[in-house]
Amino acid sequence: MAEAGSFAEKVKQQADIVRVVGEYVRLRKTGQNFTGLCPFHQEKTPSFSVHPVKQMYYCFGCHEGGDVFKFVMKMDRCEFPEAVRTVAEKCGIPIPRATERSPEERLQNQQRTTLVDIHREAAAFYARQLHQSNEGKVAMAYLEDRRLDREATVWFGLGYAPGSGDALLRYLKSKYPEKVLDPSGLFSRDQGGRMFDRFRRRIMFPIANDSGKIIAFGGRSMGGDMPKYLNSPETSVYSKSNVLYHLDRAKESIRQNDFAILVEGYMDAIAVARAGIANVVASCGTSLAEPQIKLLSRFTRRIVVNYDADAAGQSAVERSLTLLLEKEFDIRVLTLPGGADPDQYVKQNGSDAYRKLLGAAPSYLDYLIARARKTDRSTAVGKLTAINFLMPYVQRVPNALLRSEWASRISSELRVDEPVLRESIRRAAAERRGDVRPRPELLAPAVAPAERRLIQMLAEHNGIRERLAREIADNQLHCGLEFEKVFEVLISCAASNQALDPAAVAESLTEPERRILFEAVFETSADANWDEAESCLAVLRQRTVSHELVEELAELQKKIESKLPFDELKRLLARRQELQRRLIGLPASQAGG
């Protein structure tokens, strides 16, 4: 969100959202707004609106909405700073020169640049060792046995770390002081403080960031040294959760094909890429991390997960799925026959066989149901076990339509009662409302007309909004409402006498809450007066009374059902009748709460 006084805030104030959005969407003026076909979902009738006065957009079909920066971030799949720069350039707003860095910032930047240089030098050193040293000949023979010839090793930058313990150190010390080499992650120290090579007797895989700069290494042991694979530690230029192996070479192919293949290890990624399928990346760990998923989303929202078929690989698939589902990826899962990993399968069966399986990879739903069907479902306990296996994934499906599809498929496949299952899924999803971003098109509760009008008044009508906000807040009339949070942020704005910025306020709301706020703002509304406000407030007061009566009746019923003396029971029954008459006397729209 743009901070007050910042360059981003200046751009937001000067930008013309209609002009910016118009470069992506064909807009047509409709009343005071502009409309067009939504770029975020398929539609034939325009439901996408741009509000030129409030400088915001909203789709009444898929409920996406926000300010000009959010629009550019979603369309260009970029981060906030890049979106600010893009909007500024499109609107002809001069971009200020970068401020002079502090001495500390300049030093840190210089250190990062030096570390990248050191890793480039190390990669060249390891490559020479592989192709020119006697030790390297043994490593090269191993790679050739894995069907990696010299051309492949050069293309992927493979190398070899000799076993002497200080070969790389001696080479780099001729160019860099020891204090500069120390934080590179390429060296360790013994108990006496002496520095030595971290990687020894290992085939080396350079790890590059998405721009192609080498920032770390993975080393595969050539002897009995453990672990089998050893990676660089985290440094100022390398964080393993922010890097995907081979992404620097794969990103253009991922964009062109609009999907990525995710494998586990270096050799898997190399084998698939050499088979002519360049859009492959490796997580180089047991499962994806959220920053890696965010990195992938810059290039595609479609992914085929092809981890190893062993128990560890299946567990990694399932952990990755939970994060990918929350980020609304279109996911398929490829499990290769015979328990083979991608490297083994491509070598044994060829690229055409792999491509065929890739094209037939089942959706994540089919994969998970197949896993659930392996449990013994002949008993009620077995069926419950299968459903409980699926439930964590159901909770993370952010779209109500997809959850509905899950219910139908699961009930059919596992032979459970569909209505009961649907209710279980609905509750499971609701319980995780704070952890996922639901799009409850089917399950979203309707907002009462009086509540909607009050939201409009608090958002739009400056003449009465402060008085209205005080009345609601003082009497807690919004407490317990489905959209209580919307009232809270609007009351807060009114109390501080701030002008409402719907797009900014929406950042703190859930999807259903943003939806009701944006729709209320976009609706054409007549001028409000206090008499109309008072009539809407009366509805909330009646609702409060209704809730109090219902709660008292519930407590009363508990007492009646317990063992009581006759006189006490008679008194409570009379009280119940009185409460029921009062409840019946309320307007029908309020009696049900």
Q: Across the chain, what does the average pLDDT equal? A: 82
161 DSSP β-pair partners:
202
Question: What would be the CATH architecture of the domain defined by 110-238?
Answer: Alpha-Beta Complex (3.90)
CA distance 446 to 440: 11
Q: Which residues contact 277 (CB under 8 A, 6 or more apart)?
A: 261, 351, 354, 355, 358
Across 569-573, average pLDDT: 64
Residue 142, class by beta-carbon neighbours within 10 Å (0-12 exposed, 13-18 middle, 19+ buried)?
A: middle
Specify the higher pLDDT residue, 439 or 482.
Answer: 482
CA distance 449 to 241: 47
Across 431-439, average pLDDT: 36
Q: Which residues contact 255 (CB under 8 A, 6 or more apart)?
A: 299, 300
Alpha helical stretches, state H, 432-501 = 449-460, 462-474, 484-495
Across 179-197, average pLDDT: 94
User: By mean pLDDT, which of 162-166, 471-475, 578-582 is the weakest?
Assistant: 578-582
Across 13-33, average pLDDT: 87
User: Would you place residue 350 in the very low, low, confident or very high pLDDT band (cuts 50, 70, 90)?
Assistant: very high
CB-based contact 242:291 (threshold 8 Å): yes
Q: pLDDT for 97-149, tens place per residue?
A: 655 567 777 777 788 889 999 999 999 999 999 999 999 999 999 999 999 99
Question: For residue 514, what are the CA distances in angstroms to 65, 125, 330, 448?
Answer: 8, 56, 24, 16
pLDDT of residue 196: 96
The domain limits of the chain are 7-90, 110-238, 242-361, 368-431, 449-528, 538-591
CA distance 514 to 451: 15
User: By mean pLDDT, which of 110-119, 171-180, 222-231 is the weakest?
Assistant: 222-231
pLDDT of residue 250: 93
CATH assignment, 368-431:
1.20.50
pLDDT of residue 377: 66
CB-based contact 527:502 (threshold 8 Å): no
| The CATH fold of domain 242-361 | Dna Topoisomerase Vi A Subunit; Chain: A, domain 2 (3.40.1360)
Helix (H, G, I), strand (E, B) or coil at 21: helix
pLDDT at 588 over 60: no
pLDDT of residue 437: 30
CA 530 from chain center: how many Å?
A: 44
Q: Give, as one character, the DSSP assignment of residue 361.
A: P
Across 148-161, average pLDDT: 95
pLDDT of residue 590: 40
pLDDT of residue 440: 34
Helix 311-326 × helix 364-372 angle, to 10°? 130
Same fold, 7-90 and 242-361: no
pLDDT of residue 436: 27
CB-based contact 204:161 (threshold 8 Å): yes
pLDDT at 572 over 70: no
Across 331-349, average pLDDT: 92
User: By mean pLDDT, which of 355-369, 455-469, 560-574 is the weakest?
Assistant: 560-574
Specify the higher pLDDT residue, 53 or 355.
Answer: 355
Across 320-324, average pLDDT: 83
User: Would you place residue 221 in the very low, low, confident or very high pLDDT band (cuts 50, 70, 90)?
Assistant: very high
Specify the higher pLDDT residue, 168 or 426.
Answer: 168
Q: Give, as one character, the DSSP assignment of residue 507.
A: G
For the chain, what percent of residues have pLDDT higher than 90?
33
pLDDT at 555 over 70: no
User: Would you place residue 158 in the very low, low, confident or very high pLDDT band (cuts 50, 70, 90)?
Assistant: very high
CATH assignment, 7-90:
3.90.580.10
Alpha helical stretches, state H, 49-156 = 68-76, 80-90, 103-132, 134-145, 150-155
Query: What are the start-end ranges of the E strands in 138-201?
Result: 159-161, 187-189, 195-197
pLDDT of residue 148: 93
Q: pLDDT for 450-459, tens place per residue?
A: 888 888 888 8
pLDDT of residue 559: 62
User: Would you place residue 593 in the very low, low, confident or very high pLDDT band (cuts 50, 70, 90)?
Assistant: very low
User: Would you place residue 45 in the very low, low, confident or very high pLDDT band (cuts 50, 70, 90)?
Assistant: confident
CB-based contact 170:210 (threshold 8 Å): no
pLDDT at 265 over 80: yes
